[in-house]
Amino acid sequence: MIELLAQTGLNAIYGASYISLVAVGLVLIFGVMGVVNFAHGELFMAGAYVVVALYAERFVPFFIAVAAGLIFVGLLGLLMERSLFRPLRDNPLGGLVASIGFLMILQSLAVMGFGVRMEHIPPVTQEVIEFSDRVRLPVARLYVILAAVVMLSLLSYFLKRTRFGWALRASAQDPQAAALQGISVNATAKIAMFIGAGFAGLAGALSAPLVSVTPHMGHSIIVTAFIVIIVGGIGSLEGAVLASVIYAVVHTFVTTFYDGVLADITGLALMLLVLIVKPTGLFGTANRA
């Protein structure tokens, strides 16, 4: 039983890693731009398909393909900011609807380019870290965990220690006051969108060899991300990370000891419980931060 619990814990850490990358990116975009990006799950999918196109089909080294996925999806984010969200800056509902339209476009492009079949990518490595006979951590999953730790640490440093990071935080806290201080709203929006989208693309790229890649794989991850940011508190990066860990632990343990459907229901029940006890989420406040 102890070994089963340990193995389930390792699986939960892996789940929390890629969920946190997606959720933090979504929170950053909302915090700075005030828009709910429903296409965020498709950015995760786009990162995975970059790895399919480069690593699986053209035999580009995996980590180069992952870097390309991050940059490509980050640029997609810039395209969305300039063509969708900036013209609709004063119309949050319009931005939400536009993101749904972009979601459908990305799905259609994926179907046109790769078909509707599931893509099973060759494993990056067969190496496994063995803690015991029944407790193992595939090195491919370790890559996801390390990437999440490194990227979230760099983001924390960027936001707290750099001028651009301070500008993003100021724009998130009070956009009008930030603009009066000479901070460019367009510049902060572009930075937030590139980072937020790039994080989603990175999560998808790293996860591609570990999951079945399909044009509709973004559906489940965006639902999970919304649950996480609601539990953590809308607009709170720290809350998104903590809620990712909580959700991953609960979901993984329920899946292991019961089944996946009950785990999905438990995740939703967790969100409802938090909303009843603390409607603003674990780290949320009454005002958007």
Report pLDDT digits (tens) over 231-271: 998 888 999 999 999 999 999 999 999 888 899 999 999 99
pLDDT band at residue 285 under the 50/70/90 scheme: low
Q: CA 220 to CA 216: how far, in whole Å?
A: 8
Residue 286 has pLDDT above 80, yes or no: no
Predicted pLDDT at 288: 45
Look at the block and give the residue holding tokens 């929170």: 27
Residues 127-137: pLDDT tens digits? 999 888 789 99
Q: Copy the structure tokens of residue 76.
A: 């997609």
Cβ atoms of 185 and 20 closer than 8 Å: no
- Is this structure's pTM higher than 0.75? yes
Contacts 24+ apart (CB under 8 A), 249-254: 249/9, 249/12, 249/16, 251/12, 251/15, 252/8, 252/11, 252/12, 252/15, 253/8, 253/12
